[in-house]
Amino acid sequence: MSEYVAPLKDMQFVLDELVDMDSIRQLPECEEISTDLVEAILDEAGKFASGVLSPLNIVGDKEGVRWQPEGVTTATGWQDAYNQFVAGGWNAISCEPEYGGQGVPRVISTLVEEMWNSANVSFTLCPMLTRGAIESIELRGSDALKQAYLPKLISGEWTGTMNLTEPQAGSDLAAIRSRAVPKADGSYSVHGQKIFITYGEHDLAENIIHLVLARTPEAPEGVKGISLFVVPKFLVKADGSLGARNDVHCVSVEHKLGIHASPTCVMAFGDSEGATGYLVGEENRGIEYMFIMMNAARFSVGLEGVGLAERAYQRATAYARDRVQCPEAGVKGSGKVAIIRHPDVRRMLMLMKSQTEAMRALACVVGSAIDHAQRAPDSTIREQNQAFVDLMIPIVKGWSTENAINIASLGVQVHGGMGFIEETGAAQYLRDARITSIYEGTTGIQANDLIGRKIAREGGKTIGLVITRMREVLQQLQQSTAEPLAAIAKALAAAIEALERAVAFIVASYGKDVRAALVGAVPFLQLFGTVSGGWLLAQGALAAQRKLEAGSDDQAFLQAKIVTARFYADHVLSQAPGLAYTVVEGAAGALAIEDEQL
């Protein structure tokens, strides 16, 4: 089986043509992010992904993890790979320099993270959760917590987790029962059980820092009474060295459909004397703080979708080039040919390719906005970019992961019967991708957040600005005389109109009939993602056309960008009016039926 190869040319095209890298370099502490440095980072990341992480992917899938009372053992090669990961500074790539990070812009680490996910998503989950813990402590932790935990978390010597879900709670965090009792020394005694904790226990690092939601004794009911605590596996002494083992243990690991090499743990806190924990920020603001981690994690889960889609596409394309079967349709006297010559296989591969490139483009545009939201000196620019980020994270997470499942399924289909056989590797991507639309908030949760908090609450203001940007690209397409661009313009114009129709319905109906609006929430998320992808692929096609007209010698790549955008317009963007119809008209059929009739 072939190993993963990073799509560096397409990544560089996105940075050059869809992201304003000059504006990134003007941000504080980004002045040294030269083109050469970016190319070097991506090139080295690609080598690590293909040379170290990718060969371990199938090993981890087959071996999984092993639980014993004293801890969890990861798959063969995992420890060595993690040591190399840390030694190479990859864990610290986009963290703040104050505590040992490299401060690389998020738009660059977005592409690096995509590579890790393509090569080995089970491995990547560990640093992804660590990154979320780092952000929460950076933004809301006391100076003492920052000094004690950030340097080792950023270096990767320690790892981090998120501990939200409990057996009786699921996504309903208001039902959390874990408790934290104040102690005389200012710490807390934490008691409770958490489930579905990714990398809650493992043998990769010497300490694991758990961020745990729990209630203090006088806390009010519901989500307003939840606080956030740092609970280390090993207590940390004043000099930074490790002390006694804390009263926190993994009591079992889950047996899952996919991501076998990522330990998904049931964690017990305080079964004996109580687990020592330290309050993050203020009491009763834990949900607010945890959403710092949650939003970072949701963006990263979207990148899992992009990475898995790319890997499934690469595997399917390699198979289609090698598999010889049947004569070529329409070619008289043709001998048997590689199945990549068959129209339906080409259609499936182009669905995989075009949607993956659209997802990558959107993730990078949002990653760039994250950089401006966090670093721009002008507060107005920060606020505008943060509003865009908040709007688009449900799309990056929900749309990309749903697409990844479909793209991985297409990969199996391209393989035919061999795709259903584990030895080809195609099935693993589908199994691994299936969780991505569930954890860190299901697609339904993302969609409800999108239409309620991000659109209806502000009367569609921010999405209106995004649609304005879409129309600017449409106008450029309509001014071009190139035939493929005219076809793209036609599909994009209809798609934008469909999106505007759906937005108007949500803004008008959400406050009057919320159930009717919520029925169409997921179709709306799919609609918005589909149109966003078409917008950015169209922008890329315009850039490619300009380069061709200027005499670029990279004609094959640039022509492929235009053809890919045209295919997306014809096969994917064309679905937008139907999705808008479902958003506007779909409530009656869903809500009229009685429970017992289902």
State both tokens at 553: 């010698």
Contacts of 88 by beta carbon, 8 Å cutoff, 6+ apart = 44, 48
- How many Cβ atoms are within 10 Å of 464's Cβ, its own excluded? 14
Per the listing, tokens 């320690």 go with: 158
Q: What is the pLDDT at residue 290? A: 82
Q: Is residue 485 predicted with pLDDT exceeding 90? A: yes
Cα 418 from chain centre: 29
| E strands present in 246-350 | 248-253, 264-269, 275-279, 324-327, 336-338
Return the residue matching tokens 């860190």: 440
Place 379 in a pLDDT band, splitting at 50, 70 and 90: very high
Cα–Cα distance, 117 to 156 (Å, whole number): 18
List pLDDT tens digits, range 514-546. 999 999 999 999 999 999 999 999 999 999 999
Q: d(Cα 529, Cα 302) in Å, to the nearest integer?
A: 12
Instruction: Give the model's confidence band at 176: pLDDT under 50 very low, under 70 low, under 90 confident, else very high.
Output: confident
Phi, psi for residue 458 in degrees, rounded to 5: -105, 15
State in Å, rounded, how far the first CA of the chain is from the last one. Answer: 44
412: amino acid identity, one letter: V
Class of domain 159-288: mainly beta
Rounded average pLDDT over 285-292? 86
| pLDDT one-digit tens code per residue, 487-524 | 999 999 999 999 999 999 999 999 999 999 999 999 99
Query: DSSP strand E in 164-306: where?
Result: 179-182, 188-198, 207-214, 227-232, 234-236, 242-245, 248-253, 264-269, 275-279
User: What sign for the dihedral angle of Cα 551, 554, 558, 563?
Assistant: positive
Q: Which residues of 145-181 are buried (b: 16+ CB within 10 A; e: fewer)?
A: bbebbbbbbbbbebbbbbbbbbeebeeebeebebbbb
Q: State the pLDDT at residue 168.
A: 82
How many whole angstroms separate alpha carbon 36 and alpha carbon 28? 19
pLDDT band at 175 (very low <50, low <70, confident <90, very high): confident
Helix (H) / strand (E) element for 66: namely strand 66-68
**Pairing of β 242-245 and β 248-253:** unpaired
User: Any idea where the domains of the chain sit in the sequence?
Assistant: 159-288, 443-591
Q: How far apart are CA 542 and CA 13, in angstroms?
A: 12
Taking the CB of residue 102, how many other CB atoms lie within 10 A of it? 16
Q: How far apart are CA 521 and CA 503, in angstroms?
A: 11
Two structure tokens written together for 457: 């609450």
Q: What are phi and psi of 298, to 5 degrees?
A: -65, -40
* Structure letter (DSSP) for residue 86: H
Active site residue 440: yes
Question: Confidence class of residue 2 from pLDDT cuts 50, 70 and 90?
Answer: confident
Residue 3 forms beta bridges with which residues? Answer: none
pLDDT: is 450 or 168 the higher one? 450
**Of 440, 458, 585, 594, which one is the catalytic site residue?**
440
Would you state the pLDDT for residue 294? 82
pTM: 0.96
**For residue 296, what pLDDT is reported?**
85
Confidence band (pLDDT; 50, 70, 90) for 486? very high
182: helix, strand or coil: strand
User: Cβ neighbours of residue 17 under 8 Å, at least 6 residues apart?
Assistant: 539, 540, 543, 544
Question: CA 374 from chain center: how many Å?
Answer: 19
Query: What pLDDT, on a 0 to 100 scale, did the predictor assign at position 170?
Result: 67
Q: At residue 1, does pLDDT exceed 70? A: no
Residues 450-472 have a mean pLDDT of 97
Mean pLDDT value of segment 100-115: 96
Sign of CA dihedral 447, 451, 457, 462: positive
Q: How many CA atoms lie within 13 A of 317 on its CB side?
A: 15
**Distance from the Cα of residue 119 to its chain's centroid:** 15
